[in-house]
Structure 1
Amino acid sequence: MAFRQLLHTALFSVLLCLPIHLFAGDPVKFIREKDGVTVYPEVYLSGNARAVKLQVITDRIIRVTASPEKVIPLRKSLITVYGAPSANFTLTEGPEKITVQTSAITAVMTLATGAVAFTDKNGKTLLAERPHNGRQLQPAVFEGQPAYGITQTFETVEGDAYYGLGQHQDDVFNYQGRQVFLFQNNTEVAVPFLVSRKNYGILWDNYSLTKVGDTREYLPLSRLRLFSAKGEPGWLTASYSNQRQQPGKVAFTRAESGIDYAYLDDTKKHLPAGFAMKTGVLTWEGSIASDFEGMHSLRFTYGGYLKVWVDGKLLADKWRQAWNPGTALLEINLQKDKKYPVKIMWTPDGDASYISARWINPVPLEDRNTFTIQSEAGQLLDYYFIHGNNMDEVVSGYRQLTGKTPIVPKWAMGFWQSRERYKTQDELLQAVAEYRKRKLPLDNIVLDWSYWKEDAWGSQEFDPQRFPSPDSMIQALHRQYHTQFMISVWPKFYEGIPAYKDFDKQGWLYRRNIADRQRDWIGKGYVSTFYDAFNEKARAGFWELLHKKLYNKGVDAWWMDASEPDVLSNVSPEKRKEQMSPTADGTAAEYLNAYPLENAKGIYNGQRSVDPDKRVFLLTRSGFAGSQHYAAAIWSGDIASRWEDMRTQISAGLNFSLSGIPFWTMDIGGFAVEPRYEKPSAKDLEEWRELQTRWFQFGAMVPLFRSHGQFPFREIYNISPKDHPAYNSMEYYTHLRYRLMPYIYTLAGMAYHQDYTIMRALVMDFPEDENVKETGDQFMFGPSLLVNPVYTYKARERELYLPAGQGWYDLYSGEFREGGRHINAKADYETMPVFVKEGSILPSGPSLQYTAQKKADTVTLYIYTGKDASFTLYEDEDTNYNYEKGAFSNITFYYKEVDRSLSIGERQGGFPGMLDKRVFRIVWVSREAPRAWLPDGKADETVEYSGAAIKVSAARY
Structure 2
Amino acid sequence: MLGKIVNYIIEKNVVKINFENGSTYVKIINDEIINFFIPNVSEERNSKAIDKLNYKETKFSVRFIGQLLTISTKSLVVKIYAGFNIDIYDKDGNALCEDYRLERDPFIRRKGDYELAESEGHDLSKKNKDTIYIAKKMEDDMHFYGLGEKTGHLDKKYYHYKNWNTDNPNPHGETFEQLYKSIPFFVNFRKDKSFGIFFDNTFETNFDFGKENSNYYYFSAAGGNTDYYFIYGPSVKNVIEGYTYLTGTTPLPQLWTLGYQQCRWSYSPELRVWEVAEEFRKRDIPCDTIYLDIDYMDEYRVFTWDNNKFPHPEKTIRELKEEGFKVVTIIDPGVKVDNNYSIYKEGIENNYFAKDKNGQVYENVVWPGKAVYPNFLSSDVQKWWSSNQKILTDSGVSGIWNDMNEPASFNGPLPDDIEFNEDDKVVYHKEAHNVYGQLMCKATYKGIKDATKKRPFVVTRACYAGIQKYSTCWTGDNQSTWEHLRMAVPMLMNMGISGVAFCGTDVGGFGFDCSKELLSRWVQVGAFTPLFRNHSSMGTRDQEPWAFDKMTEDINRKYIKLRYSLLPYLYDCMKICEDTGIPVMKPLILNYEADKATYEINDEFLFGDNILVSPVLEQGKDKKMVYLPNGDKWIDFWDNKEYDGGQYIIKEAPIDICPIFVKASSVIPSYEVQNYVGEKVIDTLKLNIYLSNDDNNFEYTHYVDDGKSFAYKYGEYSKYRIVVKGRDEVVIDVNKIVDGYCDKYEYIEIIINKDCTNIICDGENVKFKKVRDKVHFTVALKANQKIVIK
Under TM normalisation by the shorter chain, which class is it? Answer: 0.7 to 0.9
Q: 2 CA distance for matches of 1:122 and 1:908?
A: 40
CA distance in 1, matches of 2:639, 2:332: 47
Distance 1:855 1:103 in 2: 51
1:507 aligns with 2:334: no
Deviation of residue 507 (structure 1)? 2.4
Distance 2:544 2:345 in 1: 39
- Distance, in Å, in 2 between the alignment partners of 1:802 and 1:874 is 28
Instruction: Flag the 1:910–1:578 CA change in 2: closer, same or farther, 3 A.
Output: same
- Aligned equivalent of 1:240: none
Deviation of 1:178 after TM superposition, in Å, equals: 1.5
Which of 198, 204, 227 in structure 2 is aligned with 1:209?
Answer: 204
Once residues 599 and 712 of structure 2 are traced to their aligned partners in structure 1, the CA distance between those partners, rounded to angstroms, is 37
Paired letter, 1:205:
D
State yes or no: 1:53 paired with 2:29.
no
Q: Which residue pairs with 2:236 in the alignment?
A: 391
2:219 corresponds in structure 1 to: 373
State the match for 2:719 in structure 1. Answer: 890
Distance 1:908 1:756 in 2: 23
Identity of aligned pairs, percent? 25
- Name the CA shift for 1:105/1:893 in 2 (closer, same or farther; >3 Å): farther
**Alpha carbons 2:751, 2:774 under 8 Å: kept:** no
| 3-state SS of paired residue (2:612) | strand
Could you tell me which residue of structure 2 aligns to residue 150 of structure 1?
132
Instruction: Give how far 1:29 is off.
Output: 1.4
CA contact (8 A) 2:237 2:582 kept: yes
Aligned to 2:187: 195
1:875 to 692, 696, 704: 704
Q: Shift of the alpha carbon at 1:518?
A: 5.2
The answer as to 2:83 corresponding to 1:102 is no
Asked if 1:182 is matched to 2:17, the reply is: no
- CA deviation after TM superposition for structure 1 residue 653, in Å: 0.7
Which of 642, 646, 656 is the aligned partner of 2:485?
646
Larger CA deviation: 813-822 vs 775-784:
813-822
2:264 is matched with which residue: 412, 419, 427?
Answer: 419
Residue type matched to 2:100 in 1? R
2-structure distance, mates of 1:712, 1:922: 42
| Compared CA separation, residues 856 and 109, structure 1 to 2 (3 A) | farther
Contact map agreement 1:917 1:947 (CA 8 A) in 2: no
**Per-residue deviation at 1:83?**
4.2
Q: 1:81 aligns with which of 51, 65, 73?
A: 51
Deviating more after overlay: 483-492 vs 121-130: 121-130
Aligned-CA RMSD value: 2.7
- For residue 825 of structure 1, the aligned residue among 651, 658, 661 is 651
Task: Give unpaired runs (5+ residues) of structure 1.
Answer: 1-11, 21-26, 44-49, 135-145, 216-361, 678-687, 927-933
Aligned to 2:442: 601
Find the aligned partners of 1:935 and 1:707 in 2 and give their Cα distance. 34
Which of 618, 627, 635 is the equivalent residue of 2:458? 618
Query: Cα distance, 1:99 vs. partner?
Result: 2.5
3-state SS, counterpart of residue 753 of structure 2: strand
Aligned amino acid, residue 144 of structure 2: Y
Conserved? CA contact 1:559–1:619, under 8 Å: yes
Partner of 2:664: 838
- Deviation string, structure 1 residues 894-948 (Cα, Å, up to 9, x no partner): 233567634334212234432363323131259xxxxxxx999963443332121
Corresponding letter in the other structure for 1:490: D
Q: 1:947 aligns with which of 770, 783, 786?
A: 783
Is it true that 1:482 corresponds to 2:324 in the alignment?
A: yes
Superposition TM-score, scaled by structure 1 size: 0.72
Query: Which residue of structure 1 aligns with residue 248 of structure 2?
Result: 403
Q: Does structure 2 conserve the Cα–Cα contact (< 8 Å) formed by 1:580 and 1:592?
A: no
Q: Confirm or deny: 8 A CA contact 2:163 2:181 kept in the other structure.
A: yes
| Residues 1:691 and 2:518 aligned together | yes
**Counterparts in 2 of 1:285-304, with a 5 A limit?**
none
Offset from partner CA, 1:598-657 (integer Å, 9 cap, x none): 11111112222343x311110101221111112x00001111111111111111111111
Match of 1:90 in 2: 60
Residues 215-244 of structure 1: CA deviation (Å, up to 9, x unaligned): 8xxxxxxxxxxxxxxxxxxxxxxxxxxxxx
1:119 aligns with 2:100: no
Provide the secondary structure at the position in 2 that maps to 1:894.
strand
* Kept after mapping to 1: 8 A contact 2:504/2:532: yes
Whether the 8 Å contact between 1:458 and 1:490 is mirrored in structure 2 is: no
Return the alpha-carbon distance in structure 1 between the equivalents of residues 52 and 365 of structure 2: 43
1:666 to 487, 505, 510: 505
What's the secondary structure of 1:906's corresponding residue? strand
Question: Which residue in 1 is equivalent to 2:603?
Answer: 777
Contact 1:814–1:925 (8 Å) recurs in 2: no
Contact 2:690 2:753 in 1 (8 A): yes
Secondary structure (helix, strand or coil) at the match of 1:909 reads strand
Q: Residue by residue, what CA displacement relative to the aligned partner does 1:23-45 show, whole Å, maximum 9, x if unpaired?
A: xxxx84111221031112344xx
Deviation at 1:583, TM superposition (A): 5.2
Change (3 A) 1:860 1:192: same
Distance 1:462 1:193 in 2: 40
Unaligned segments of structure 2, at least 5 residues: 105-127, 168-178, 756-769
Deviations 1:407-428 (A, max 9, x none): 1100001111111111111211
State how far apart, in whole Å, the 1-side matches of 2:711 and 2:88 are: 40
Preserved CA contact (<8 Å) 2:156 2:209: no
Say which SS state the counterpart of residue 450 (structure 1) adopts.
Answer: helix
Identify the residue that residue 239 of structure 1 maps to in structure 2.
none
Matched AA of 1:789? P
CA contact (8 A) 1:697 1:832 kept: yes
> 1:130: Cα distance to partner?
2.9
| Equivalent-residue separation in structure 2 for 1:712 and 1:174 (angstroms) | 35
Name the stretch that deviates more: 652-661 or 490-499: 490-499
Letter in 2 for 1:185: T
Aligned equivalent of 2:118: none
The secondary structure found in structure 1 opposite 2:330 is strand
> Secondary structure of 2:229's partner?
strand
**2: distance between equivalents of 1:793 and 1:586?**
49
CA-to-partner distance for each residue in 1:93-140, whole Å, 9 max, x for gaps?
141323322233332222x23222222333332212335679xxxxxx
* Cα shift readout 1:643-690 (whole Å, capped 9, x = no counterpart): 11111111111111111110001110000115xx6xxxxxxxxxx111
Q: Displacement, 1:567? A: 2.2
Describe the shift of the 1:554–1:937 C-alpha distance in structure 2 as closer, same or farther (beyond 3 A).
farther
Aligned residue for 2:183, secondary structure, equals strand
- Flag the 1:148–1:735 CA change in 2: closer, same or farther, 3 A: closer
In structure 1, C-alpha distance between the alignment counterparts of 2:362 and 2:11, rounded to whole Å: 51
8 A contact 2:628–2:645 mirrored in 1: yes
1:466 equivalent in structure 2: 309
Distance of 2:571 and 2:473 partners within structure 1: 18
Aligned partners of 1:78 and 1:565: how far apart in 2? 17
Offset, 1:825:
1.5
For the residues of structure 2 that align with 1:195 and 1:892, how far apart are their CA atoms? 33
Picking from 677, 687, 690, the partner of 1:851 is 677
Query: 1:841·1:864 contact (CA, 8 Å) conserved in 2?
Result: yes
Residue 402 (structure 2) aligns with: 560
Deviation, structure 1 residue 553: 1.1
For the residues of structure 1 that align with 2:73 and 2:729, how far apart are their CA atoms?
Answer: 42
Structure 1 residues 851 and 875: CA distance shift in structure 2, 3 A: same
User: Are the structure 2 counterparts of residues 935 and 189 from structure 1 closer, same or farther at C-alpha, using a change threshold of 3 Å?
Assistant: farther
Task: Decide which moves more: 187-196 or 761-770.
Answer: 187-196
Q: CA deviation at 1:537?
A: 1.4
CA distance in 2, matches of 1:63, 1:800: 41
State the AA in 2 paired with 1:835: F
Instruction: Map 1:726-805 onto structure 2 (within 5 A).
Output: 726-805=552-631
Partner Cα distance (2:258, 2:346) in 1: 38
- TM-score relative to the length of structure 2: 0.87
Assess if the C-alpha contact under 8 Å between 2:687 and 2:748 holds in 1.
no
Residues in 1 aligned to 2:472 and 2:748: alpha-carbon distance in whole angstroms: 34
Question: 2:388, 2:447 within 8 Å by CA — same for their partners in 1?
Answer: no
CA distance in 2, matches of 1:385, 1:902: 46
Contact kept in structure 1, 2:461 and 2:474, CA below 8 Å: yes
Cα shift readout 1:710-746 (whole Å, capped 9, x = no counterpart)? 23223212x224xx22111111001101111111111
Counterpart check, 1:541 vs 2:384: yes
**1:709 counterpart = 2:562:** no
The answer (yes or no) to whether the contact 2:261–2:534 under 8 Å persists in 1 is yes
